Chain A
Amino acid sequence: AQSVTQLDSQVPVFEEAPVELRCNYSSSVSVYLFWYVQYPNQGLQLLLKYLSGSTLVESINGFEAEFNKSQTSFHLRKPSVHISDTAEYFCAVKKGYSTLTFGKGTMLLVSP
């Protein structure tokens, strides 16, 4: 079964600094990869997804993620974070018809 590892449970960063949230998955076949975000007291919202094609995918609020097949990684990056980016971020993988498997989440804490 596929699994997802988010290497950092918490990432503190100052406003306007760059950030990278790491995600590795275990699978030797084609997968669909997702990043979800959960703001305080809310459900999960899709941030971006990789299905096929270009290995770099972008979201509308400045986040991007790069699919790296050789390293089985799908790290999330943003060049300059805002206070409003404070949230928990979940990486997820889906293979074939199976359900989504989530990582344990990374809490991004942005301070002024």
Chain B
Amino acid sequence: DVKVTQSSRYLVKRTGEKVFLECVQDMDHENMFWYRQDPGLGLRLIYFSYDVKMKEKGDIPEGYSVSREKKERFSLILESASTNQTSMYLCASRPGTPLSTEAFFGQGTRLTVV
């Protein structure tokens, strides 16, 4: 089975802190994604990566950055956390091909910024 592991289930951080959310997948997938999930808004794509050191902005990249130094790991960085970044963050991965393959999700990290 594909396993996508997010390092923390729950995090509480202070406004202005630099926050790192880590995601690791064990299936040698090329593509990795970060979404945030908010009630009534569904999942919104923050950033994705289709290869090591490659990244693309999603729909809501403002206030976030990402790092992909190794194929299995994709990190989401909140440069200066703000209360409006309180949310559930979901990491996902999928193979580069075939194009029809679904994405596999981690358990999520619920981040609270106080």
* A interface residues, Cβ below 8 angstroms from B: 6, 9, 32, 34, 36, 42-46, 49, 51, 90, 94, 96-97, 99-105
We find that the number of chain B residues with CB closer than 8 angstroms to chain A is 22
Alpha-carbon separation in the docked complex, A96 to B40 (Å)? 27
* Cβ-defined contact, A105 with B42, below 8 A: yes
* B interface residues, Cβ below 8 angstroms from A: 4, 33, 35, 40-45, 48, 58, 90, 92, 99-100, 102-108
* Cβ-defined contact, B102 with A34, below 8 A: yes
A-B contact pairs, 18 of them (CB 8 A): A6-B42, A32-B100, A43-B4, A43-B90, A43-B107, A43-B108, A44-B90, A44-B92, A94-B100, A97-B99, A99-B48, A101-B45, A102-B35, A102-B42, A102-B43, A102-B44, A104-B41, A105-B42
**B92: chain A residues within 8 A (beta carbon):** 44
Alpha-carbon separation in the docked complex, A99 to B48 (Å)? 8
**B45: chain A residues within 8 A (beta carbon):** 99-101
Query: How far is the CB of B90 from the nearest CB of chain A, in Å?
Result: 6
Q: Which of B40, B48, B107, B108 contacts A9 (CB 8 A)?
A: B40
